[in-house]
A and B are shown apart, each in its own frame.
Chain A
């Protein structure tokens, strides 16, 4: 499917819960509202025309003034099309439903995002820390303005 076909298909289904980002990119970029996130993921995986069977990456973004975001890059092996989906999360208490039940590959991506950004994934099957060392007690290092032991900020910032 082309970019416009994917966007119109998603807009038909989700309407005002979906916000399309107009960017000069080959893939469609969409914001989905947090409440419809799990339903959206189920839909794009199971809908035969879309068939997004592969979650390329799930990661977090921190905007210190306003919000957290999570970004999903999705791809389809059969249809050869891509989609970037984003969700805006609360600034002070970022939490969202897990999608490990839809794409198994989300498991470690969500654990990493939980550990590095402090975004809570509800109903995650295995919410242990993944990457940082065992006695880590210095907060969430990928948040803006974070400092910790042995951390040297770039001098010209």
Chain B
């Protein structure tokens, strides 16, 4: 079993048996962190970088990340692009349709804070965190696929630190 060699601190080997003991918290966090299926959902030019990150050159599959075309099958939402006031209601509905545990990455300046549309703009929401909770912010206009990967790795770190006692409550991310 290759997994036991990889994580000896977390899984105990029992002599002669097919039974292992480990913590539920570690197993759940590890499985959640290593299969973050993200929603195929792009709003502006950041979505092009997201597509590049998902395609073969940068290859998100090696982190266990695949896109799903439905919010009901997705764990992670990249808010990739400019969110207008008109679109923000739709983004919120999509977020609410995702099953828990659900995570959000705000990708690019527009989704973090309004970006280039911060001043003198009547139509753009000044940051997606006014509408839905955000786990990781990635600056850039647009961020390169490497930045997006770094953000995903940060999110994985965050998921691995979750406590079992927080699952039922709102403060799932300690």
Q: Which residues of A contact B (CB under 8 A)?
A: 131-133, 138, 141, 146, 148, 150-155
Contact = CB atoms under 8 A, between A and B. Distances in A.
Nearest to B126: A150
Contacts of A148: 122
9 contacts: A132-B123, A133-B86, A141-B123, A150-B85, A151-B120, A152-B119, A154-B119, A154-B120, A155-B119
B3 interface: no
Contacts of B119: 152-155
A132 B86 contact: yes
Most chain B CB inside 10 Å of its own CB: which residue of A131, A132, A150: A150
A145 B118 CA distance: 17
Given A141-B122, A152-B119, 13 more contacts: A133-B85, A133-B86, A148-B122, A150-B85, A150-B125, A150-B126, A151-B120, A151-B121, A151-B122, A152-B118, A152-B120, A152-B121, A153-B119
A146 B120 CA distance: 10
A133 B88 CA distance: 10
Contacts of A153: 119-120
Contacts of A154: 119-120
Nearest to B86: A133
A151 B86 CA distance: 15
B122 A146 contact: yes
Interface in B81-127: 85-86, 89, 118-123, 125-126
A142 to B, nearest CB: 8
A24 B17 CA distance: 88
Nearest to A151: B122
Interface string B123-135: 1011000000000
A5 to B, nearest CB: 41
Contact of B126 (A138, A152, A155): A152
Nearest to B89: A133
Contacts of A141: 122-123
